[in-house]
């Protein structure tokens, strides 16, 4: 059966069209809000995430400072995902950014995949706007670390929220103490059923319900990444519900 979908999101950001364009059309820019490592070359965007090379996405439209679009090649079952960005300059160096994610999900069980995609897209767009508002022009070091396998997601989220000091809401201040690192003090910028995003002075920290069955730390570091991977892996293990 399958399902065609379209997810439109927009936000007014305190960044210039030039800064937005760099964030959505260059490898270091995409690294700083999306996932994994990204390369833009030869009319294609290539993403490596958690050691896996994802199918490339081909650039389908490019109007500098106004419109940028790219799409995956439909698979044998018709599956594909496409992204379109529309930029509109506003006063005092701000920009209205609209991102439309669309595509096709095959099969009769598309609902679960659509839920994961829509919640993930919402996190990525919130991270893009947060990046543009606070770190525009800076390149992040992406860090992805999985926690232990999860069999009960509601319980896993209750445990992780408890480790953050309670169910977080946007605007809440949180303090995290990963082993071997200085305490992390930040502000929640996003939360939905499958993710939490936290901004500090030198990072964007994200916790995500991974499709592979583990909680993921998908962080974007603008400071020193030394020791971060092992520390966050250990923190996720300590926050696992079986240890709570």
Measured between alpha carbons, how far is residue 154 from residues 79, 145, 193, 233 in Å? 29, 20, 9, 20
Q: Residue 211 above 90 pLDDT? A: no
CA neighbor of 137 nearest in space, from 222, 219, 28, 19: 19
pLDDT of residue 2: 85
**Do 187 and 96 fall within a single domain?**
no
The CA-based dihedral angle spanning residues 66, 72, 74, 75, taken in that order and rounded to the nearest 10 degrees: -170
**pLDDT at site 236:** 96
For residue 5, pLDDT over 60 is answered with yes
**Strand 44-49 vs strand 57-63: parallel, antiparallel, or unpaired?**
antiparallel
Cα(218)–Cα(221) distance, integer angstroms: 10
Average pLDDT for 231-237: 96
Percent of the chain surpassing pLDDT 70: 99
Cα distances from 147 to residues 126, 183, 189, 218, 235, in angstroms, run 23, 20, 22, 11, 8
Name the domain boundary from 134, 154, 172.
Answer: 134
Mean pLDDT of the chain: 95
98 and 195 co-located in one domain: no
- Domain count of the fold of the chain: 2
Question: Average pLDDT of 160-183?
Answer: 95
Considering 134, 169, 190, which residue would you say is the last residue of a domain?
134
Q: Where are the alpha helices (DSSP H) in the chain?
A: 17-25, 27-31, 110-134, 153-163, 228-239
Evaluate if residue 112 carries a pLDDT over 90.
no
Same domain, yes or no: 117 and 56: yes
Find the CATH number of the domain harbouring 210.
3.30.530.20
Is residue 13 located within the same domain as residue 113?
yes
Confidence bin at 51 (pLDDT 50/70/90): confident
Residue 23 pLDDT more than 70? Answer: yes
Neighbours of 192 (CB within 10 A): 14
149-159 confidence digits (pLDDT tens): 999 999 999 99
Co-location of 225 and 121 in the same domain: no
Residues 14 and 79 in one domain: yes
C-alpha 100/C-alpha 7 separation (Å) is 6
- pLDDT at res. 228: 95
Instruction: Specify the pLDDT at position 109.
Output: 84
Each residue's pLDDT tens digit, 94-104: 999 999 999 99
Domain that holds residue 180: 141-243
Q: Are residues 88 and 145 in the same domain?
A: no
Q: Are residues 28 and 116 in the same domain?
A: yes
Tell me: do 129 and 147 sit in the same domain: no
Instruction: Judge if 129 and 31 occupy the same domain.
Output: yes
Residue 243 scores a pLDDT above 90: no
* Res 205: pLDDT: 98
Residues 73, 178: one domain?
no
Other beta carbons less than 10 A from residue 235's beta carbon: 23
- Confidence class of residue 1 from pLDDT cuts 50, 70 and 90? confident
Helices of type H across 4-109: 17-25, 27-31
* Per-residue model confidence as pLDDT tens digits over 123-143: 999 999 999 999 999 999 999
Q: Which of 134, 155, 189 is the C-terminal boundary of a domain?
A: 134
Same domain, 63 and 96: yes
Q: Give 178-219 as a DSSP string.
A: -TTSPPEEEEEEEEETTEEEEE-SSEEEEEEE-TTSEEEEEE
Give the confidence band of 17 by pLDDT, cuts at 50, 70, 90.
very high
Query: Per-residue pLDDT for 244 more than 70?
Result: no
Residue 138 DSSP symbol: P
């Amino acid at each position: 059966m399958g399902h065609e979908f379209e997810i439109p999101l927009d936000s007014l950001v305190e960044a210039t069209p030039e800064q937005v364009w760099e964030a959505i059309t260059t490898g270091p820019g995409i690294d700083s809000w999306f996932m994994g490592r990204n390369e833009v070359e030869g009319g294609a965007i290539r993403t490596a995430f958690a050691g896996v090379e994802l199918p490339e996405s081909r650039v389908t439209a490019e109007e500098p400072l106004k419109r940028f679009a790219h799409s995956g090649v439909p698979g044998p079952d018709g599956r594909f995902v496409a992204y379109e960005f529309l930029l509109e300059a506003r006063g005092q160096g701000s920009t209205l950014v609209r991102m439309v994610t669309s595509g096709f999900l095959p099969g009769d069980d598309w609902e679960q995949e659509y839920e994961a995609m829509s919640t993930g897209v919402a996190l990525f767009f919130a991270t893009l706007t947060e990046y543009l508002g606070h770190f525009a022009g800076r390149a992040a070091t992406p860090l992805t670390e999985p926690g232990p396998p999860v069999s009960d997601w509601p319980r896993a989220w209750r445990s992780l929220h408890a480790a953050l000091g309670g169910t977080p809401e946007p605007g809440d201040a949180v303090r995290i103490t990963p082993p071997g690192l200085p305490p992390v003090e930040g502000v929640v910028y996003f939360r939905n059923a499958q993710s939490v995003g936290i901004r500090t002075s030198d990072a964007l920290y994200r916790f995500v319900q991974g499709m592979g069955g583990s909680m993921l730390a998908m962080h974007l570091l603008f400071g020193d990444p030394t020791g971060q991977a092992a520390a966050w892996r250990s923190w996720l293990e300590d926050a696992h519900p079986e240890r709570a």
